[in-house]
Chain A
Amino acid sequence: MRRFGPFQIEPTPSPAKGWMLVVSLAAVLCAFVAAAAIFWAFGINPLKAYTVIFVGTLTDRRATPEILRQTIPLLLCGVGLVVAFRAQFWNIGAEGQLLAGAVGGTAVALFVPLPAPWHLVTMFLAGCAAGILWGLLPAFLRIKLDVNDVITTLMMNYIALFFVEWLVHGPWKGQTARGFAYTDTFPATAWLALVPGTRIHWATLALGLGLAFSLAFFLARTRLGFEIRVLGENPRAARYAGIDPLKTIVVAMVVSAGAAGLAGVGEVAGIHHKLLAPEQISLGYGYAAIIVAWLARGSPLAAVLTALFLGLIFSSGDVMKVALQMPFRVTDVFNGLILFFLIGSERLLYYQVRWVSAKTGRSGGR
């Protein structure tokens, strides 16, 4: 407990909602300030850079829809991670689950000819299943053998990544691809409709929004959601209450990995129309989704807003490339800095600043 003039800083066990918002915004602000140093090193005035980024991204007729297009995979992966994190299952593997989903979707697109609407529906189902498969292995390892979930989910990402590499260089390499590493283009029945003039595959966006709302209801109002919350908040109490940890973690991971799998299908069916190199399918959406979920502080609805924010950062990468001649990967620097400050500020949540008058006349037990 410290005093600075009339202010007193003291620990609090329960951060208020408003304070959470203040700390999160302050962390993001700190990240921007730190990033300013990088602009400076590039010889660009940071103020000018931010003006270009925000004004450019938010006003340019081609850049604005890109925000939504980038938001789609971030939202799907992000809301899924919110659920996994609520169960205290640290799923760092949304990236791999997204790639697994892309592979599942591609398999159906290329090798299972179906009539128009059913082709896409089956692709989404297959992608979702593939993502779940990828996510469940770490879940079983954690519950049955107590293997660290952060490490297994992270490592599964690399397996997925190299598996996709192998597919597009080897067995699935397209007839028309010549020297390039990608599959044949999907048949028209496997193309998602876009909002005209943009790259927004609206069906996947609707899926993400629907998922955000239904998961908010799921966590707050259903038995399974209750079990996930109890397990996440206090695993020993969950055991005492007779909640099966395996079943509960499996449910959380089915939701989390399944959503990431859907995002993978959305990317290949909506944007690329083929399976290609993993770093082209995903610009690191699965990793950035960790920020989406963390900023959302356990709320699937808040994840809609935080996904939009990260979407803005991703789409600003193109603006930076064109207007400032900076490499697109600067966005990774942004993301890294935001996550760094966000996690770094976590302890701050558990302190509150109080204004105290000259005399403190409180008393209590203990």
Chain B
Amino acid sequence: MTLALHHITKTFPGVVANHEVTLDVQAGEVHALLGENGAGKTTLMSALYGIHQPDSGEIRLDGRAVRIRSPRDAIALGIGMVPQHFLLVRRHSVAENIALGLTDGPFFFPARAIESRIIDYASRYGLGVDPRAHIWQLSPSEQQRVEIVRALIRGARILILDEPTSVLTPQETRGLFEIIRRMKEDGCAVIFISHKLDEVTAIADRVTVLRRGRVVATLPAAGTDKRALARMMVGRDVEFRLRKEPRLPEADGLEIDRLVARNGRGLPALRGISLSVHRGEIVGIAGVAGNGQRELVEVVTGLRAAASGRIRVLDRDTTRLSARAVHEAGVAHIPEDRMHVGIVPTMSVAENLVLKRYRYPPFAHGPIMDRAAIDRFARQMIAEYEIATPGTATPIRLLSGGNIQRLILGRELSAHPTVIVAAHPTSGLDVSATEHIHTLLLRRRQEGAAILLVSEDLDELLALSDRIAVLFAGEIAGVVPAAEADHERLGLMMAGQRR
């Protein structure tokens, strides 16, 4: 089975998401689609999976032009997709989820009828899934396998994997690669979407690099190297080494003592965590998403109440303080969800810059806010943090992700915090914005801030941190000095192996 995309163009208001993209995938091939966030990878795959229609261009299957109007059409043509964010009904069993949407099952008890097929497929590709397990009981990697089985049972011969490794430990990633190899041997075509260079060189047969919606090159993965791919992806040479100067950590900045907290559904999320971050030190938090990182960040910044335990900032107990009081105590928070939590999209750049400090002089005198002072401050911040914006009154929503993150960092760092809690500060940002933010965090470390850095990017953690703590199931599986850590060791701890 051969799939070919010819001159696909897709335009959204103000942006050309795909421009004349041509790409082909052969049976028994893993074709990687490499590009930064916003390069047009997902848009291209949405066109292939029938989620939206390209403005021009055509899709050919075995030389025949096809029109894919909906995911249903795509499935009928043998195209399957494993989305980045799984679309499974959490309270239902694996078999029920897979039976859902299958048209050839019996009317009564379709889930039962399909169990043997699930086990059959699972053993053929080495996908260990229990058809009777409920989704909520499964780890992200197991849920991913359910998505893969579902696509295969629906008859997929071309499988799209959208950023499949973002929720996996390094070991689980290797397991996924093994599954992909078996599918390949079986004659499936796999489209592997990623922005991680190591993975692409490890698994792909051919690589297509996208930049700003256009194909830069399609080349065999063998015989290319990371540096060359990175240059194509970004459009210039990329500095892989950050300059991190040695620094002796000082006294405790943030101290967490036997912290226990529950998540939004009342289940234990943190089970007695103790950790200290010294001034002048970056402590990285590694872990597969959903192991308590979000709750840890929220409890430390005062957004979530601790069930028990203590948090101290510079020897001051902040456990029971409100978010505002914690901020006043010197804790800055760079939130994970910058668009929905970090800013008010419809309000101006200037107003967003004073979101935390609008109530204090010089921005407010008594109950009245001082617009001139806010505007002056905004101009200063725009210059200092290189925020590209038409003006201070521009609604912040119109800014790019990188500029929004610069603004949030500027706002949080300008208060000269003792403790900085940064959650996934560079996720979804392009290389230059990432570099800028890394530099800013390292500068604050040099100036004596205690920084807690939560990230899913192990390279980022290894490059920035002094020590790395691994969270697993709400506990700290271990703390290692970054100099002694590597992917292998962190990966084992992320899977729950204690050291």
- Measured CB to CB, the closest approach of chain B to A352, in angstroms, equals 9
Q: Is the CB of A14 within 8 A of B15?
A: no
Q: Is the CB of A230 within 8 A of B344?
A: yes
Q: Is the CB of B327 within 8 A of A242?
A: yes
Q: Residue B77 at the A interface, CB < 8 A?
A: no
A363–B16 alpha-carbon span in the complex (Å): 6
A230–B398 alpha-carbon span in the complex (Å): 17
Q: Which residues of B contact A11 (CB under 8 A)?
A: 13
A323–B353 alpha-carbon span in the complex (Å): 59
Residue in chain A with minimal CB distance to B322: A242
Q: Which residues of B contact A230 (CB under 8 A)?
A: 344, 347, 355
Q: Residue A221 at the B interface, CB < 8 A?
A: yes
Among A14, A237, A239, contact of B397 (Cβ-Cβ < 8 Å): A14
Q: How many A-B contacts if CB must be within 8 Å?
A: 94
Q: Which residues of B contact A242 (CB under 8 A)?
A: 302, 322-325, 327, 356
Q: Residue B19 at the A interface, CB < 8 A?
A: yes
**Of residues 233 to 272 in A, which have CB atoms within 8 Å of B's CB atoms?**
233-234, 236-237, 239-244
Q: Which residues of B contact A233 (CB under 8 A)?
A: 344-347
A146–B341 alpha-carbon span in the complex (Å): 20
Q: Which residues of A contact B324 (CB under 8 A)?
A: 241-243
- Of the listed stretches B248-256, B288-296, B365-373, chain A binds B365-373
Q: Which residues of B contact A1 (CB under 8 A)?
A: 11, 13
- Measured CB to CB, the closest approach of chain B to A176, in angstroms, equals 48
Q: Which residues of B contact A234 (CB under 8 A)?
A: 340, 343-346
Q: Residue A148 at the B interface, CB < 8 A?
A: no
Interface size class of A (residues with CB under 8 A): 20 to 34
Query: How many residues of chain B have a CB within 8 Å of chain A?
Result: 46
Q: Residue B38 at the A interface, CB < 8 A?
A: yes
Among A14, A236, A360, contact of B398 (Cβ-Cβ < 8 Å): A14
- Measured CB to CB, the closest approach of chain A to B265, in angstroms, equals 15
Among B14, B213, B303, B369, contact of A223 (Cβ-Cβ < 8 Å): B369
Q: Is the CB of A223 within 8 A of B364?
A: yes
Q: Is the CB of A364 within 8 A of B397?
A: no
With A10-B13, A239-B323, A241-B356 as given contacts, are A221 and B19 in contact (CB-CB < 8 Å)?
no
Question: Which of B38, B346, B398 has most chain A Cβ within 10 Å?
Answer: B346
Q: Residue A362 at the B interface, CB < 8 A?
A: yes
Q: Is the CB of A366 within 8 A of B342?
A: no
With A14-B395, A365-B15, A366-B12 as given contacts, are A240 and B303 in contact (CB-CB < 8 Å)?
yes
Residue in chain B with minimal CB distance to A240: B341
A201–B3 alpha-carbon span in the complex (Å): 77
Q: Is the CB of B342 within 8 A of A240?
A: yes
A13–B12 alpha-carbon span in the complex (Å): 12
Q: Is the CB of A229 within 8 A of B369?
A: no
Q: Residue B470 at the A interface, CB < 8 A?
A: no
With A14-B395, A362-B14, A366-B213 as given contacts, are A237 and B371 in contact (CB-CB < 8 Å)?
no
Q: Which residues of A contact B337 (CB under 8 A)?
A: 236
Among A12, A13, A237, A365, contact of B355 (Cβ-Cβ < 8 Å): A237
A340–B38 alpha-carbon span in the complex (Å): 40
Q: Residue B150 at the A interface, CB < 8 A?
A: no
A231–B233 alpha-carbon span in the complex (Å): 40
With A224-B367, A229-B347, A230-B347 as given contacts, are A239 and B13 in contact (CB-CB < 8 Å)?
no
Q: Which residues of B contact A224 (CB under 8 A)?
A: 367
Q: Which residues of A contact B12 (CB under 8 A)?
A: 366
Q: Flag B355-379 by CB within 8 Å of A: 1 or 0 each.
A: 1101100001001110100000000
Q: Residue B445 at the A interface, CB < 8 A?
A: no
A236–B345 alpha-carbon span in the complex (Å): 12
Q: Residue A222 at the B interface, CB < 8 A?
A: yes
A362–B364 alpha-carbon span in the complex (Å): 43
Q: Residue A166 at the B interface, CB < 8 A?
A: no
A-B contact pairs, 12 of them (CB 8 A): A14-B398, A223-B358, A223-B369, A234-B344, A239-B303, A240-B335, A241-B355, A242-B322, A363-B16, A363-B19, A366-B15, A366-B40
Q: Contact residues of A with B, CB < 8 Å?
A: 1, 10-14, 221-224, 226, 229-230, 233-234, 236-237, 239-244, 360, 362-366
16 extra interface residue pairs, beta carbon distance < 8 Å, beyond A221-B369, A230-B344, A242-B323: A1-B13, A223-B369, A229-B347, A233-B347, A236-B341, A237-B342, A239-B323, A240-B303, A240-B323, A240-B342, A241-B324, A241-B356, A242-B325, A242-B327, A363-B19, A365-B212
- Which 10 A-B pairs rank lowest in CB-CB distance, beginning with the nearest? A242-B324, A364-B15, A242-B323, A366-B15, A234-B344, A10-B13, A366-B38, A233-B344, A241-B355, A236-B341
